[in-house]
Structure 1
């Protein structure tokens, strides 16, 4: 973990192509450590989630290179290691477990649907919440859930047309995405039992993820 955090901190201070390419060896060493971490988490998650496939950890990680075309921030790299452990790997659907490591307390464990650009997915989840409001409420109000999480997501100001504005879960029908973020300090990352700790947090997300995946069962990723 020291190698991972040290490299990311250095990249953040030297976010340019010259430094990035000059420190390829350090980047590759840190990447290997991150892949080992992802592999260990996958092994733990398979104990309770049979939908996690045996896949190379490298296929679950995201590139650091940023698309700056439509961003005011022209930094070429994202100084973070990220991975999505899910039935179909990095694809946002089915939903799974998201890991982001970034120094200075900006790391987190995530779950749920982060992508709100897929209108079909949003509609499917809204419809499912509208039809299974009691199940949704039971999941998000369970003490073990509320102790660790709060549902996040981009949302409309009003319940969209076609849905009952007085629905008991009306606030969540406004959402376009539904996800969880559990923040991590650098001190937590450095603990010897971090893998067990992270796996336990991920397990606590499984009912939430399961609800969303039932809603998204027939979702098809749009062609590129």
Structure 2
């Protein structure tokens, strides 16, 4: 797992974010992508030691394309110079939640977990209902010393507790949220040694697991909306 090769390729892509350069350096992309898939495979095996639900996955099914959708963006750069993957029991779908990895040079890499997608109103309601009914379990996860050392729950949120929920609930602040996720930032130096990085990433994901498990219990009956044809 040559993560330095990954960082080098992505740095070059960031500096030459244009279709001509990308197509002229397809060989370098294939090499970097192969190294990233090898890293994802190693993470699947390491995560599988404490979460066997991910072991059936193939790395190529968990990764995201570099191509950006620029239709509604002021930034018309055609590529996102980042290798990304989401490892869960259902692959890279946002639900069930799993273990997210983004390698992006310049100190923009991170490990993530939880529900990032706040556009699924049903999912948001299911998590709010679960927190409202199981607030003590939520509090215990967030108050765990290892969790507190590494994470702060993030997410888009309303200004007020939504209608139908107790404004005096012990977890009222989290009932305002529309998404609940974790981000563990990474400097380039922390990614440069592939073997060490994979070990460290797996240890972070292990600490993250109770948070993911809680959200997945809330989302057990959620079904992804079907795409309109």
TM-score with structure 1 setting the length: 0.98
Aligned residue runs from structure 1 range 1-224, under 5 A: 1-191=3-193, 192-224=195-227
Task: Give the whole-Å Cα distance in 2 for the aligned partners of 1:130 and 1:74.
Answer: 42
Task: Give the whole-Å Cα distance in 2 for the aligned partners of 1:139 and 1:113.
Answer: 16
CA RMSD in angstroms, aligned pairs only? 0.7
SS at match of 2:28: helix
- Larger helix percent: 2
SS at match of 2:40: helix
Q: Deviations over 1:148-205 (max 9, x none)?
A: 0000000111111110111110110010000000001111112342111110000000
Q: Deviations over 1:38-64 (max 9, x none)?
A: 000000011100211322201100001
Task: Give the whole-Å Cα distance in 2 for the aligned partners of 1:172 and 1:87.
Answer: 25
Cα contact 2:44–2:57 (8 A) shared by 1: no
SS at match of 2:38: helix
SS at match of 1:147: helix
The list of structure 1 runs, each at least 4 consecutive aligned residues, that deviate by more than 6 angstroms after superposition, is none
Task: Give the whole-Å Cα distance in 2 for the aligned partners of 1:41 and 1:55.
Answer: 11
Cα contact 2:126–2:219 (8 A) shared by 1: yes
Q: Structure 2 unaligned runs (5+)?
A: none
Q: Structure 1 unaligned runs (5+)?
A: none
